[in-house]
Amino acid sequence: MQQHRTGPAWGQEEKLIPLSHTILLSAVLFAVGTVGFLVRRSAVMMLVCVEIMLNAANIAFIAFARHHLSMAGHIWVFVVITVAAGEAAIGLALIVALARERGTIQVDELRSLKG
Amino acid sequence: MTATIFILLAALAVLGAVLAVLLPNAVHAAMALIVMLVATAGIYLLLSAPFVAVIQIAVYAGAIMVLFLFVIMLMNVELRIPLRRWTLVAGTVAGGLFLYQTVHLLRGVMDDQARSGADGFGSAHEVSSVLFAEYVVPFELVSVLLLVAIVAAVVLGKREAA
Amino acid sequence: MQLLAERIATWLGMEGLPRQAVVAGVVLVVALVVATVVLTIAGILTWAERRVAGRTQSRVGPNRVGPLGFLQWVADGIKLITKEDVIPAAADRTLFRLAPYPVIVGIFAAFASVPFGQKLIAADLNVGVLYLMAITSLVVVGVLMAGWASNNKWALLGGVRSAAQIVSYEVPSVLAALSVVLLAGTLSLQGIIGKQGGWPWEWYLFYNPFTFVAFFLFFTSAVAEGNRTPFDLPEAESELVAGYNVEYSGMRFAGFFLGEFANVYLLSAIATALFFGGWQIPGVTPDMQAASPVWQAVGVGLFALKAGTGAFVVLWLRWTMPRLRVDQLMGLCYRYLLPLSFAMLLGNAAYVWLVPQWAAWVVQGATTTVGLAVAGVFVRRVFYHIRHVGDDVSLDLARGESGTFDPQLQVRVYGAFRRRHAGDSAS
């Protein structure tokens, strides 16, 4: 079979994504998640924002794992995903209990501990 | 090519996250979060982590978000809680400062020298051989954590009998 | 994918073009081809379902459009495309419009890694099985969106039921599939097929008793995941009208509809790849098949035959089994299927670890014998029942003498049925 690769466009190696790009993305997402956590007043939405932050951390893990070619990052992503699942399950169960007990999930209104 | 796809996916992820934070309706916000999660899975693929990407979609989009949507849709409590202007401003300032600080801190330590990947890096085989050998204790701990979470969720969710 | 792009570009003499454009073009073309194939399969299955339903209920089914009514699905498609797309006034317009897309994307994207043949696969991923499980879980999102956005209590109930069901049954189906993954030592579907052979005793179905049970667990859970009867609570007509898609019409409804039928074929195709040896031909090694285009074609045909049989069984089940109740449905999943699939996974692990090769041969032979015997008895019973109940609908008769609809036909068929069973009630 004749191989005639002409032009440099075909042989060239795919460029890898620079580490700084991924870490920047991770930082931006984490910041967005933080803002959301501070801004949203609904308990469910605060949990959603926590998920955004956890994902930002995961992106950083994967990016560094790729950079250092070490599988440890992947393992910790699994741990984070599992913790996120547990957090969602317990957090949402708490919110359901809260809604039943108080009829609201607005965190501003839950201030009965304040003297 | 890779860079273009990465930028598209990153933009999609950021857009999803911002919408998740800003959309007043909780269901819409959760949908925006799903967009972000799927875009993130795409980024994992680009970073040669196919196994993690698949797990991300299966667990996050398939299970965690369904749980969120369930609670939001069925609880029938305040679907839209308005954002207050001053918290929005304060939050944005705080987040902006945080972002600035992170980027500033990271700028010095970055080396962008990417190593070309070894064959099969990030595949299920690689992940499992590390997970079940070196990291078997964290793995077991996390499974215990999940069990605790299941029990706790059942206890919390159960209605008191009379 | 890039290698494929390169090959195609060389073949077409397009090396002059920039590589990215060619890769993007090839990806687009492959995606379009896969989408077309899936749409065709789903369409044909909608026709097959109505024919099977007809025969099961001793009536004719669609037979006006084309030979045996085969083109009915095209007519239905055209009808649905041209129909008005009604959006209820109280609906959440954005989500209502978007809802069919996750369903379609989830199921169509899964077909990208379905091994239709030894070389006929859009993307052989090294995480194939998990990819299928993950990408199909996007369907849940679409179903919930549809149910909630319709702003209709039946739709919401249907959507929530469906989501709970899909999420729950995903667990036993993945665990059952993992039994096979454990034996094959790979998640790639082509790899799993490669470990099997063409003859039934070389399939994973008959590998040992654990995989035999695992297949039934997988099949049951997959049918439940696809929201098919007897697990079709989400759209239970008699209680929920039509479930999450009750407010949908026109093309958006067609999206859900085709998604459901594509899913039927998808689950049969996965079962074929995991348990029935996929495209392997009896007596032909994969190397021989790779060398000859004829064997390739036979392999593709064999895969389609096996998957088609599976799809037929799913359709047949729908018209045979009564629907479960919600609590029975969840009880079945969590009390029986889940522990059983765990047991099968552990059993397979122990089997791989403990059983020596010679004993494995014996077990394989015994399982094959017993399995085939059970299948034989089942088939015999089926034909026995068909003979006894009667199969009076003659498709030639249905066309009538003059080739037009014959109003007397129903009466005649019923009369034949009555005559045949005249003695039954007396005894």
Q: pLDDT digit of tens for each residue in chain A (115 aa)?
A: 344 443 334 434 455 677 778 888 888 898 888 888 888 878 888 888 999 999 999 998 988 888 888 888 888 898 999 999 999 889 888 888 888 877 777 777 777 777 6
Q: Which chains touch A (3 or more CB pairs under 8 A)?
A: B, C
- Please list every residue in chain A whose beta carbon sits closer than 8 Å to the beta carbon of residue C15: 4-7, 10
Residue whose structure tokens are 């979470």: B149
Residues in chain A: 115
Give chain C's mean pLDDT. Answer: 81
Q: Quote the DSSP letter at residue B25.
A: B
Q: What is the ipTM of this complex?
A: 0.84
Residue ranges of domains in chain C: 83-354, 389-420
| A53 at interface of B, judged by CB pairs closer than 8 A | no
pLDDT digits (tens, 9 = 90+) for C182-208: 888 888 888 888 888 888 888 888 888
Cα–Cα distance for residue pair C129/C134, rounded to 1 Å: 9
Per-residue pLDDT, C6: 62
Q: Quote the DSSP letter at residue A106.
A: B
The alpha carbon torsion through B89, B93, B94, B96 (nearest 10 deg) reads: 130
How large is the average pLDDT for residues C248-256?
83
Question: Do the beta carbons of residue C148 and residue C123 sit within 8 Å?
Answer: no
- What are the two backbone dihedrals, phi and then psi, of residue B83, each rounded to the nearest 5 degrees? -80, 140
How large is the average pLDDT for residues C126-149?
86
Helix, strand, or coil here: B80?
strand
In DSSP notation, C233-276 reads GGG-HHHHTTGGGTT--HHHHHHHHHHHHHHHHHHHHHHHHHHS
| A22 at interface of B, judged by CB pairs closer than 8 A | yes
- What are the two backbone dihedrals, phi and then psi, of residue B49, each rounded to the nearest 5 degrees? -130, 65
Produce one character per residue of A89-111: b if its CB has 16 or more CB atoms within 10 Å, e if not. bbbbbbbbebbeeeebbeeeeee
The closest CB to that of B64, out of A78, A84, A93, belongs to A84
Is B156 in Cβ contact with A106 (below 8 Å)? Answer: no
- What are the two backbone dihedrals, phi and then psi, of residue B80, each rounded to the nearest 5 degrees? -125, 115
CA dihedral sign of residues B129, B132, B135, B138: positive
The closest CB to that of C144, out of B54, B69, B120, belongs to B69
Query: Percent of chain C, pLDDT > 70?
Result: 84
Q: Which residues pair with C15 in a beta bridge?
A: none
pLDDT digits (tens, 9 = 90+) for C403-414: 555 555 555 555
Is C94 in Cβ contact with B28 (below 8 Å)? Answer: yes
Which residue segments constitute the domains of chain A, with CATH numbers given?
A: 19-110 (1.10.287.3510)
List the single best residue of B38, B48, B66, B76 to mutate versus C (max C Cβ within 10 A): B66
Fold of B2-118: Four Helix Bundle (Hemerythrin (Met), subunit A) (1.20.120)
pLDDT at C38 over 80: yes
| B152 at interface of A, judged by CB pairs closer than 8 A | yes
Is A3 in Cβ contact with C15 (below 8 Å)? Answer: no
Least confident of A33-47, C59-73, C227-241, C250-264: C227-241
| C16 at interface of A, judged by CB pairs closer than 8 A | yes
Most confident of A19-28, C33-42, C342-351: C342-351
Is C138 in Cβ contact with B62 (below 8 Å)? Answer: yes
- CA-based nearest distance A115→chain B, Å: 23
| B10 at interface of A, judged by CB pairs closer than 8 A | yes
pTM: 0.84
Higher pLDDT, C426 or B134: B134
